[in-house]
A and B are shown apart, each in its own frame.
Chain A
Amino acid sequence: GAGVSQTPSNKVTEKGKYVELRCDPISGHTALYWYRQSLGQGPEFLIYFQGTGAADDSGLPNDRFFAVRPEGSVSTLKIQRTERGDSAVYLCASSPPGSYEQYFGPGTRLTVT
C-alpha cells in the first residue's frame, strides 16, 4: 500500500519568505508526527497530532512554526519569516491506532538562502 508521502521533496526559499510543507499520512493512521533532521543528527521532535488536535507541540522552536491537521489526515507545517537556520530535512511520520510504530515519509529538504 501507499506509504507516507511528503511534498515538495525539495524546497529552496529566500530568507524571510513563508513556506508550507505537506504530509499525507498512511490512510487510517490517527497519529501524525513532524520532525526535522539536520545533517549528521537524529530527528528532532516538533509536533504530534492525535486526530485533528495537536497533542504535543512542545518541540516547535518558536512562534514562526505552526502546523495544522484540519480533517485528521493531511497535515501542513508552516514556517513564517524563514531563517537560514531553518534549513534541514523535515520528516513526517504516522502511526496506526493502538501502535507506536512510526512510519516515516521521505522528507522535504528545505534550504533557506
Chain B
Amino acid sequence: GQQVMQIPQYQHVQEGEDFTTYCNSSTTLSNIQWYKQRPGGHPVFLIQLVKSGEVKKQKRLTFQFGEAKKNSSLHITATQTTDVGTYFCAGQTYKYIFGTGTRLKVLA
C-alpha cells in the first residue's frame, strides 16, 4: 500500500542552526500538507503544496514539493527553541497518509 516516509526520524540542533526534514511517498501525490505537533499536543496545520516544483515560504520556514510530486521538504533557517516538536508531512492520493514524522529538539 501507499507509504510516506520521513527522514531523519530525530534531529538535535543547536539554536541558530538550520534544520531540514524530507518526506518521500511511494506513489504520486495530489498534494502534500505539513503539520507541527508539539509534545503532548495535537497536529497543527502549517501549509499545503499542490503544484509540481512548488516552493512556499513562511518566515524562517521553506517548503518544497518535488517535480514528480512524490517528495517534499521542510527547511527551517536559524532554529529557535520554539521550533521544538514533531513535523509531519501528509500526502494525499484519495486519502491523507501521514509520514512517520521528524522529531526536532533545539538546544539553547
Contacts and interface: CB of A to CB of B under 8 A. Distances in A.
Interface in A40-66: 40-45, 48, 56, 58-59
Contacts of B48: 100-101
Contacts of A101: 33, 45, 48
Interface residues of B, number: 20
Contacts, number: 49
Contact of B33 (A45, A91, A100, A107): A100
Contact of B42 (A41, A44, A48, A91): A91
A104 B101 contact: no
Contacts of A45: 95-98
Contacts of B99: 42
Given A43-B90, A44-B98, A105-B42, 18 more contacts: A35-B98, A42-B90, A42-B98, A42-B100, A43-B43, A43-B88, A43-B98, A45-B95, A45-B97, A56-B95, A100-B31, A100-B33, A100-B92, A101-B48, A103-B45, A104-B42, A106-B41, A106-B42
15 contacts: A40-B101, A41-B101, A42-B88, A42-B99, A43-B43, A43-B90, A56-B94, A91-B42, A93-B43, A100-B31, A100-B33, A101-B33, A101-B48, A102-B33, A102-B45
Interface of B: 31, 33, 35, 41-45, 48, 88, 90, 92, 94-101
